[in-house]
Structure 1
Amino acid sequence: MSRVPDQASNKNSRQENEGSWIGELGRTIFLSIILALGIRTFVAEARWIPSESMLPTLQKYDKLIVDKLSYRFTNPQRGDIVVFSPTEGIIQENPNLKDAFIKRIVGLPGDKVEVRGGRVYIDDQPLRENYIEAPPQYLYGPVFVPEDSYLVLGDNRNNSYDSHFWGFVPRENIIGRAVVRFWPPNRVGELN
């Protein structure tokens, strides 16, 4: 004698399977969102270049990965390309500017920085710069970089809204260091 399946039992079993599938999907989506927000907040995030101020190193619309973790353990170094929040000097001049900036660190805390004769001088020594678009056609300084601050310049020195206009970047404004270009595909790679 064969047993006829109980329809109520079959229905409950189906609801449990569907419920567990929907519940699992919900938990997976929730966990993915939490992980993505955590990574973006504390580890790394993608950014794009809105201007030509970093030519020739970075071109307009390049897309980068910004490392937000390493500066929790080390200090920014001369030559690092950093992303930072607008400084008080920027906000005073342009209250509507709220987007992050990207520039190269040139002056470290305590450095004497001067721009003259188409060269940048750090503590009266010319800085070797094989990454700039053209020699700077302006005079700046000498200035001393304050403690816990940095002097940043665009690689396109003559077309960059940078420290020589609005001053120094406090350490707490630095979001992270640009480490990898991931777009466009023909120029993917690590940034030096």
Structure 2
Amino acid sequence: RITASSQEKRNEVSSLDLFKKDTGVIYRMMGLDPSQVQDDPERFRDWAVVFGDKKISSGRHYWEVTVKKSQEFRLGVAEAAMSRDDCVGTNSSSWVFGYAQRKWFAMTSNKMVPVTLVGKPDRVGILLDYEGGFLGLVDVEQPRIIHTLRGQFKAPLCPAFGLWDGELLTHSGLEEPEGLM
């Protein structure tokens, strides 16, 4: 099960709240005054980002995310020790697929590559192959890999979610669909 890590549960500055037993993330317009939030080195202070509580350092892992209630988000993985001053996708320790302005993109090291995907599905899959060095965005209807990001994973990774409107709902503990590479 992917749930937000305990350090992220009060991420008021970035206006994120958790729901559905910490498997859902919702964006709220109003956060608390930053001076009222206890300083925590695990918290993203300037970004609406949360990490899952699972640290991954081997194997293949698959999860899905319901994205139908958001128009701007990033989904992927990041090194557990990634700087909390950066947003996921902007450094070499995070790999994400994003959706903004009705377009999909893949992003790492602040390099954005368009992903050609027809429309916006209600739900997408994420496939991580740690030793194989890839992260795949999966069409759950077909099922097929739409796009892959390559990386040399050397440190423990966490599922990562950035959200700038609406809500996301994670679904973990799923079998990887057959036929994916």
TM over 0.5: no
Higher relative contact order, chain-length normalized (CA < 8 Å, sep 6+): 2
If the length of structure 1 is used for normalisation, what is the TM-score?
0.28
**Which of these two proteins has the greater Rg computed from alpha carbons?**
1
If the length of structure 2 is used for normalisation, what is the TM-score?
0.29
Q: Whose strand fraction is larger, Structure 1's or Structure 2's?
A: 2
